[in-house]
């Protein structure tokens, strides 16, 4: 009988061979490099697109600034023309308007006021009675600052349901009268000189 005694420890078998492990690591490393390369390319393309878009936006911005500068210049010229026109008016329209309002009866008020360069004023005024509109025309003709006053139209303004009272009182309608006035420029120039 032969007895085999082995006093050396037995080797354990490896499950994965080193060459297979190296191959797997090389594959993972290659995939990672490929993914990084693709990501780099996409990022560089995105940056180029953003750069081009930025340049286009800057060009549009410069064009808009140039247009705005042109518009600003034309607006300045228009404003300057308006200032010269206002300064060229030789009468005090503020004084004239206050004078016209002072001639109104207690419950009369302006609806519309238009002043033209040729010294004509068109006004629309509300009154309680027709008599007040006639009295106002008389006051206008007697004014030192008005050289001519014409009565254009008068219309009765109908009352709405809200204006009528619930107890059935009769309420007279209001009247809107339109006048055309010619101003006395020499008298108003004197007033403007006195204001200075």
Closest CA to 105 of 78, 151, 138, 62: 138
Predicted confidence (pLDDT) per residue in 142-188, tens digit = 999 899 999 999 998 876 655 555 455 666 788 999 999 998 888 88
Per-residue pLDDT, 77: 87
CA-to-CA dists, residue 79 to 69, 82, 92, 93, angstroms: 15, 5, 20, 20
**pLDDT-derived band at 194, boundaries 50, 70, 90:** confident
Mapped onto helix, strand or coil, the DSSP state of residue 85 is helix
Note the pTM of the prediction, 2 decimals: 0.52
- In the predicted model, what is the mean pLDDT of the chain? 85
């Amino acid at each position: 009988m032969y007895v085999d005694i082995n006093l050396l420890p037995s080797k354990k078998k490896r499950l994965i061979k080193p060459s297979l492990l190296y191959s797997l690591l090389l594959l993972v490393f290659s995939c990672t490099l490929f993914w990084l390369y693709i990501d780099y390319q996409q990022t560089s393309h995105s940056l180029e697109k953003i750069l081009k878009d930025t340049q286009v936006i800057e060009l549009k911005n410069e064009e808009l600034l140039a247009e705005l500068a042109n518009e600003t210049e034309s607006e300045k010229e228009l404003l300057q023309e308006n200032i010269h026109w206002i300064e060229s008016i030789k009468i005090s329209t503020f004084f004239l308007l206050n004078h016209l309002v002072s001639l109104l009866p207690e419950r009369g008020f302006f609806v519309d006021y238009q002043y033209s360069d040729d010294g004509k004023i068109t006004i629309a005024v509300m009154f309680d009675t027709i008599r007040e509109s006639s009295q106002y025309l008389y006051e206008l003709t007697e004014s030192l600052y008005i050289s001519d006053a014409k009565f254009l139209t008068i219309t009765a303004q109908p009352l709405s349901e809200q204006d009528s009272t619930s107890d059935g009182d009769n309420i007279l309608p209001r009247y809107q009268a339109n006048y055309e006035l010619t101003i006395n420029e020499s008298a108003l120039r004197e007033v403007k000189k006195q204001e200075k």
